Structure 1
Amino acid sequence: MSFSNKIVLVTGASSGIGAATAQLFAKEGAHVVMVGRNESKLRNVAEQCARGGHAPLVVRADVGNDDDVKRIVDETINKYRKIDVLVNNAGLSLTGSILKGDILESYDKTMAVNLRAVVHLTTLVAPHLVKTKGSIVNISSIAGKMTSPVLSLAYCTSKAGLDHFTRGAALELASLGVRVNSISPGPVRTDILENSGLSNISWEFLGSRVALKRYSEPEEIGEMILYLASDKAKGITGSDFVCDNGGLLKA
């Protein structure tokens, strides 16, 4: 799958799935735009990308900030003049519950990044994708398809909303030649547990709870992202690809 001279914008690219995806696209010849909040982590991933391909454009930004979202697109277009692929990967998970009274705070912050930012970035990037007949890949989760643990209600709700937005965006943009798909991973070894204050939970434990008794590595999801963004998937739009090691089978 060659992405030579393609411009690929990846959010949440400082670690995990986003970092692996950026490196895979770079290896396939793409010019990658890496977006994230942690500049040192972004620089480390950028060095890895440069070793295997073109040096990426690094944009330190918070997708939950409207001005930052606009700046991401402006910097990309100013440098490359086009966008071929958008990977909406940035996400977060904050705990909160109805009875504890803190659900609104976690809901507002989670939805701002996991859903509203995707809608905003898609809106700004879509006109450029129409010109290149490009594609969008959204990173959802099986959490949006199952009854959520109490403290994860905001996260699961955001991913359920993302699934529906993916289908609606795919329908609206299809006539203009732009494809929109999503991927719903199960447990993937990233830093989301530490970032969510759940470092007491191990990936081994999460892997033991799915049918295949394993967790995925970020590269596994990255490879699927590349496939959906490539011409090999030119007939696929509005679809959600579950890559969960059989997690939904035991839900």
Structure 2
Amino acid sequence: MPRTALITGASSGLGAEYARQLAARGAHVVLVGRAASALQTVADEAERLGGSATVLVADLLKPDDLARVVDRVKSEDLPIDMLINNAGFGLPLDFATNDVSAELDHLTLHVAVPLQLSHAALQVMATRGGRILNVASIAAYIPRSTYGACKQWLVSFSRWANTHYENVTVTAVCPGYTHTNFHERMGLEPGNEGVPGWMWLNASDVVAESLRDAARGKAVSIPSLKYKLIAKLTAILPDPALARLGSRGR
């Protein structure tokens, strides 16, 4: 059980749910995000649940802000026992028509930022121990424009790091479609995402299972039996069929 967890993208969705579940276990959560008021709402809830919280307002796409978060992760005086790389956003799937600056921000937030924060965390966790959770996606197993490519990087890195650093568990969390506000932020109304109801997961279940898997030392956590089966099927299905599956949701 971590004493202190730093969570990026903590103002809503899976990030806020990680904060709630860890706070309910008595942890101190460091909440990182851009919206101070939303982060404070999560912090207040964390304290009502029995934990404690610190708000760290930062835009991880701004180098100075990211440097402040890196410094917090590396702190010896206020050590972090768990790092949860959760911050992210989605883009339309037609890469060629997307603004390339948006694609570069997408790549930075999903790959370069977790890389830098994980690097900082491993410098202090390698000797004393700790856990890193990289929130990836089942899209890592499915051709899905640059989103799937970014998430595949997180899975590959986590699998390697989990083996290489004996005192640190590094886990890639690969949920399928999950009820959060992620799709709403992309302009999709709830129920109109083009995804069958049976494919949806609850955020509380995703977080609970991923925390259990991290505690067990797993390199990859795929919450729910149905998505475990889907991940296995991706090894035998042809790319055109997988691409059709990956086209849902946006």
Aligned counterpart, 1:186: 176
Structure 2: distance between partners of 1:128 and 1:43: 28
Residue 207 (structure 1) shift:
3.8
Q: Does 1:216 align with 2:201?
A: yes
**Cα 1:73–1:109 shift into 2, 3 Å:** closer
Unaligned runs of at least 5 residues, structure 2: 234-241, 246-250
Aligned AA (2:164): E
1:155 to 135, 147, 151: 147
Q: Distance in 2 between matches of 1:79 and 1:241?
A: 29
Q: What is the aligned partner in structure 1 of residue 58 from structure 2?
A: 61
Aligned match of 1:246 in 207, 217, 226? 226
Percent identical residues? 28
Cα shift at 1:50: 0.5
**Equivalent residues of 2:111, 2:150 under 8 A apart:** yes
Give 1:201 shift.
Answer: 6.0
User: Between Structure 1 and Structure 2, how many residues are aligned?
Assistant: 231
Alpha-carbon distance in 2 for matches of 1:182, 1:88 = 10
Answer yes or no: is the 8 Å Cα contact 1:16–1:218 preserved in 2: yes
Q: Is residue 187–residue 207 contact of structure 1 (8 Å, CA) maintained in 2?
A: no
Stretch of structure 1 that moved more, 85-94 or 240-249: 240-249
Distance 1:134 1:41, change over 3 A: same
1:142/1:244 contact within 8 Å kept: no
2:201 partner SS: coil
Corresponding position of 2:41:
44
Q: C-alpha distance in 1, partners of 2:136/2:186? A: 17
Query: Is the 2:31–2:54 Cα contact (8 Å) retained in structure 1?
Result: yes
The residue that corresponds to 1:21 in the other structure is 18
Structure 2 residue identity aligned to 1:184 = C
Aligned residue in 1 for 2:160: 168
Matched to 1:167, the amino acid is: R
Q: Give me the whole-angstrom Cα distance separating, in 2, the residues matched to 1:80 and 1:57.
A: 15
How far did 1:229 drift? 4.0
Q: Which runs of 5+ in 1 are unaligned?
A: none
Aligned: 1:226 with 2:211: yes
Backbone CA RMSD of aligned residues: 2.4
Counterpart in the other structure of 1:112: 108
Separation (CA, whole Å) in 1 of partners of 2:112 and 2:57: 19
Match of 1:81 in 2: 78
Q: Say if 2:74 and 2:123, in contact at 8 Å, map to a contact too.
A: no
Of 59-68 and 77-86, more deviation after overlay is shown by 77-86
Whether the aligned pair in 2 keeps the contact of 1:95 and 1:106 (CA below 8 Å) is no
CA distance in 2, matches of 1:243, 1:225: 7
Give SS of 1:56's match.
strand
Aligned partners of 2:192, 2:203: CA distance in 1, in Å?
13
CA shift for structure 1 position 155: 1.2
Q: 1:245 to 1:64 in 2, by over 3 A?
A: farther
User: Is 2:117 the partner of 1:121?
Assistant: yes
Deviations 1:11-42 (A, max 9, x none): 11100111011011011011111111111111
Q: Report if aligned partners of 1:10, 1:18 keep a CA contact under 8 Å in 2.
A: yes
